[in-house]
Amino acid sequence: MGRLKLQSGIKAIEEEPEECESTSSNKAALACMINSEVGAVLAVMRRNVRWGGRYMSGDDQLEHSLIQSLKALRKQIFSWQHQWHTINPAVYLQPFLDVIRSDETGAPITGVALSSVYKILTLDILCLNTVNVEDAMHLVVDAVTSCRFEVTDPASEELVLMKILQVLLACMKSKVSVMLSNQHVCTIVNTCFRIVHQAATKSELLQRIARHAMHELVRCIFSHLPDVGNTDHALVNRGSSVKLEGIGHDTEYSFGNKQLENGNGGSEYDGQPSSVGFASNSSTGLVASVLDENTIGAGNGKEATAYDLHLMTEPYGVPCMVEIFHFLCSLLNVVEHMEMGPRSNAIAFDEDVPLFALGLINSAIELGGPSIRRHPRLLSLIQDELFRNLMQFGLSMSPLILSMVCSIVLNLYQHLRTELKLQLEAFFSCVILRLAQSRYGASYQQQEVAMEALVDFCRQKTFMVEMYANLDCDITCSNVFEDLANLLSKSAFPVNCPLSAMHILALDGLIAVIQGMAERIGNGSLGSEQSPVNLEEYTPFWMVKCDNYSDPSVWVPFVCRRKYIKRRLMIGADHFNRDPKKGLEFLQGTHLLPEKLDPQSVACFFRYTAGLDKNLVGDFLGNHDEFCVQVLHEFAGTFDFQDMNLDTALRLFLETFRLPGESQKIQRVLEAFSERYYEQSPQILANKDAALLLSYSLIMLNTDQHNVQVKKKMTEDDFIRNNRHINGGNDLPRDFLTELYHSICKNEIRTTPEQGSGFPEMTPSRWIDLMHKSKKTAQFIVADSRAFLDHDMFAIMSGPTIAAISVVFDHAEHEEVYQTCIDGFLAVAKISACHHLEDVLDDLVVSLCKFTTLLNPSSVEEPVLAFGDDTKARMATVTVFTIANRYGDYIRTGWRNILDCILRLHKLGLLPARVASDAADDSELSADPGQGKPITNSLSSAHMPSIGTPRRSSGLMGRFSQLLSLDTEEPRSQPTEQQLAAHQRTLQTIQKCHIDSIFTESKFLQSDSLLQLARALIWAAGRPQKGNSSPEDEDTAVFCLELLIAITLNNRDRIKLLWQGVYEHISNIVQSTVMPCALVEKAVFGLLRICQRLLPYKENLADELLRSLQLVLKLDARVADAYCEQITQEVSRLVKANATHIRSQMGWRTITSLLSITARHPEASEAGFDALLFIMSDGAHLLPANYVLCVDAARQFAESRVGQAERSVRALDLMSGSVVCLSQWAREAKEAMAEEEISKMYQDIGEMWLRLVQGLRKVCLDQREEVRNHALVSLQRCLSGVEGFQLPHSLWLQCFDMVIFTMLDDLLDIAQGHSQKDYRNMEGTLSLAMKLLSKVFLQLLNELAQLTTFCKLWLGVLSRMEKYMKVKVKGKRTEKLPELVPELLKNTLLVMKARGVLVQRSALGGDSLWELTWLHVNNIAPSLQSEVFPDHQGLEQKKDETGKSLVSDETGSAPSNETVA
């Protein structure tokens, strides 16, 4: 049953003994208390002449019955033996209640009796265990609510009224109030309200107390709603509310409405708080009568059934709450009636009554809360009657009322939003969105209250999400989220005016929404993971249903799909408005309409799509084409006219399109309407023709009444006359037609659509339609704290939001407003980053960078101090860098703006010194595995004397010292306190920015962002100019390059991503610079540094990195010269650290080219040679890939005249020592390789050896004697040190031709041609050369003798000896050579003889070797033949046939390996 559950369980049992089982002393105390109350009442009665006499004249009794009963109670009271709770309370209450009811007692007596009852009620004498407590409570309520007394003076009358309120409130608050019936609770509220009503003419205090009591009552009653059980079966009897019978008619139970019995107010009268209070008010009659109608439950007695009475006598529960709530709502209707009445002094009343009623309603909702939804009748009151009134009062001119309405709606949203979907939509569309914009004529106060309310809603974390999911994503609802977000953005914009409280308020709302999204980010389920919606095939879009509104995995995709459909429909509407045919085709293309159009789908498109041109829809529906007629009937079928008045139905129908002008079209449209209306609401209409005729008649009446051109208006009688006999030959009831007539006269049916798509007004017909729709609308989706839809919502509102926050930030002047904006910016950044909305983040960064003031062309004399004094700029700067550090992953083009800020700070000298220093320095000083100690980086700016423009002292301290410096050329005044403070603030701001970590932490940036950062740096550095650029530009370019190199080094794992851009940038600098400057210095050394750092880690990139060093070779000569020594040191360091990582010939070629260049550079050669030593000594890092290149480099050092001859000698030693490597490789090849590979390897080794000896041959021609001679010794060592590997014979022939003979010839030329000044002691050199020839020839004699060309070779040797024998140095014959040559020749001949190479053989043809030998020998030393061959003297003419043993065996020869010069 709809009643309170009695308190059950342990708690109740524990309390009972305290309440009821009172001890004997307690009993006595209670008896004394009641006794004293009796005494008090009697005392006051005795003061009155009427009661003071000894006996009543003309009466049988000695005393009046009231006094008698009080005295009788006194007698009994002390003689009761039982516990108090076993005594019927009626016994000790009745005497007091009789006094209260008696109309003979005056106000003072009634007042004291009321006080006594109050005391008894508040002392907890009554409890649930007391005998007959229910009857007792009923007695009290009946007596107090029908209290009578004589009014002697106004003050005592007010006192009694106050006490009545006090006692009634005590009844409701006492523990036993649960015993009261629904009827009694209604009576109590009714009585209180009448006192409130009457108090209007009494003192202010009584008014306040009465209102307070009413509030307390309502709170008390509705606070029990959560404890009430379900009431479904209590509602069976009737849909309308229960009317309480008897209260309005039976004067015993209520304050009757009698007027004064006597004309004068002084004598006795029924002091009922009735309409007395309105005596002075001109609108009295009306209000009083309305109030009487609205007395709770005093409505029409006929309706109330016995079943209702049965309900009303039950212990109180939902029925009385329904009645009270209904009564409170009806108080709001009173005001509607008021406004039609005379408006005298109406404004106070206009505000007062609704405010009072709304306050009570608000209390009821606050306390009833979510329990209301368990009780359908209460809920339906809220859904319909209350909300309809709220919609009306929402547009009230009074800010107080509006504020109260908004509070109620907020409470309803909190507790009952799932039941109020369309009502909330209507409230926001028709109230908040209308009022918050000045264009609808709302006052500033109304706008402010509406905006405050909206901001309160925005502070509810899920409010905007729910609006979006339930309304924006529903095709039948308006886009409330979008409208509200736009409203907030617009309202925050100060347009041509200073910033006002309203702007800040709107901003708060906007930021509350944004921060709600930001808070949801950590809770999982980011919407961006949703797959894009795509409609593959046609399904009726108005039929799309969701299976489960509580499971996000089901409703989120459903909502996104609905939103997609809605967006497509809007686009379709746009196309339709331009060309209906194309619009429908577009929708068919997006699968929203079927390929073959059917009437139902087109009808639903017209019915459910917002933004269609109503004229076009009207023309389409009125068309005579068969398809259009079918669409019209389907269109009519989408309306629900159940239980609706004809005029309301017609209004709704004609609101959706513009009625066409031609009569046939009107006919067709009205026929379709009438058919549908008759089908659903026949009511008293006989057939659909009756509906058609009446509809026509209403349209004509509407035109007649509201068209200004019609001068003679139709009267009610005319209208009734026109509609005779239309209802199947009979007349329609007159009152039915009268009602229709007045409805149309009062309220025009608009057949032309409202201009502008503003926010509509809520008309009664629209409200009825809304109630119909709300029965069918989709379930309300309750959002949780996860970010399911935030991606889409944020995409909609991000642009206007950033703009609004930026404009407020721009206009603001107070720090708290700045902070609000900054919080907003950070929240926007967080959301953009987490939902991967890079464009939004870039926009935000661009916007914020403007506020740093760093990008403004500096017109200020002291920009640093100006920055220190500008709080806004400093906050913006910190925010920009906070965003860059936190959300850098998602910044793209925004890096350019951030860099502009960094560069500006750099120009001002405000950056910490370490920003540009390579961040990787800190982290990677770890020792290289091959090295003993860490390789410290020599390229940091400290080691590099800059050759460009002198740099300003950078770094914070540098800047500070500048500020403080007093020793500048012009005398400077001591900085003031303010300047120092401003400067200090600037420094603190820059420290908070952590600018350096953008670059040091760049290794954690996402690839796309990193690439954009690098591109931004290259872009900011500008194109390198040929010719002079300003020092400032160069400084910027250098700084950008430093940063670029820093991020390159920091991202060695992603070097491939950056390398191309970095290389091209450095290449541009190198190739466009013609003079030494800081930029080219930084470029070259940066490049070297990158190679140094990355070679150990990036073997696959080694070639590319080393190839980049070829840029150094392209440097302009002047530039190269300036930096040669440092470059060489770096290359040397690079080689020492990474020799093992350089594998390819290409890489080595670059290195050796760089080293070779230094051979002729005075400063650089030392370092270059040092590097070469590192590579070549002991063959440490010689490889087949770099052998030829290193030998070539060593030759250049040997030939170089720079430095001591000693270094050339060491270079030669390196060359000759390298032979060891060749033999080692040959050995290793033999052991490890297959046959084919061995021969290939041998061939390669032969080539390398040939290149080695050719190199040495060149050095043998050196001007310096020491070098020349050492080269010869080294050459000899190389020629004779080849035991470890077999060289093919052909190679030896090449060697003799190209190396030994060429060298001997060249030396001879030099000796004969140059003065001794250039070449000292050539004789010694020639001697060495001769010895070399002899030695090598003899060493190889066995192999050479087998060659077919041996003879030619031998003749070559002899001819050289002959030339050397006869050589003249400086025109003189030498001393040593004539002795040395014959000796060497003799030795050679002896060996040849011994080995059987030179033997005289007799054969036909003669022995050419023998003969030719002696032919030459005799030219050199004729005596030799006899010395070597004593047996053969004089036989030189004799010719013998010889069989030459010259084998042509060229084993091992293969195609020569490609060697690179």
Residue 150 dihedral angles phi and psi, to the nearest 5°: -85, 140
Instruction: Convert 1131-1196 into a string of H (helix), E (strand) and C (coil).
Output: HHHHHHHHHHHCCCHHHHHHHHHHHHHHCCCCCCHHHHHHHHHHHHHHHCCCCCCCHHHHHHHHHH
The two tokens of residue 173 are 């608050």
Residue 1265 CA neighbour count, 13 Å, CB half = 13
The two tokens of residue 370 are 């979510």
In the numeric block, the tokens 């107010």 are attached to: 265
The alpha carbon of 902 is separated from its chain's Cα centroid by a whole number of angstroms, namely: 24
Query: By three-state DSSP, how is residue 535 classified?
Result: coil
Indicate the residue type of 597. Answer: L
Rg, C-alpha atoms of the chain = 56
Other Cβ atoms within 10 Å of 547 Cβ, number: 8
Rounded distance, CA 1311 to CA 1323, Å?
8
Q: What is the 8-class DSSP label of residue 430? A: I
Distance spanning both ends of the chain, measured CA to CA: 110
The two tokens of residue 1347 are 């060659």
Other Cβ atoms within 10 Å of 747 Cβ, number: 15
Rounded distance, CA 937 to CA 919, Å?
12
Rounded distance, CA 451 to CA 438, Å?
12
Indicate the residue type of 932. Answer: G
Contacts of 1420 (CB under 8 A, 6+ apart): 1358, 1361, 1362, 1365, 1381, 1382, 1385
Rounded distance, CA 1218 to CA 1200, Å?
20
Query: 1 vs 189, 381, 1372, CA distance in Å?
Result: 22, 20, 147
Q: Active-site residue numbers?
A: 662
Pair 1446, 1348: CB distance under 8 Å:
yes
The alpha carbon of 223 is separated from its chain's Cα centroid by a whole number of angstroms, namely: 43
Cα-Cα-Cα-Cα torsion 1313, 1314, 1316, 1317, nearest 10 degrees, comes to: 170
Rounded distance, CA 1170 to CA 1158, Å?
11
Helical (H) or strand (E) element with 1369: strand 1368-1369
Residues in the chain, overall count: 1461
Sign of CA dihedral 798, 800, 802, 804: negative
Indicate the residue type of 782. Answer: V
Rounded distance, CA 492 to CA 807, Å?
8
Helical (H) or strand (E) element with 1373: strand 1372-1373
Contacts 24+ apart (CB under 8 A), 1235-1240: 1239/1452, 1239/1454, 1240/1454, 1240/1457
Rounded distance, CA 1155 to CA 1170, Å?
10
The two tokens of residue 636 are 């009519």
Instruction: Convert 764-804 into a string of H (helix), E (strand) and C (coil).
Output: HHHHHHHHHHHHHCCCCCCCCCCCCCHHHHHHHHHHHHHHH
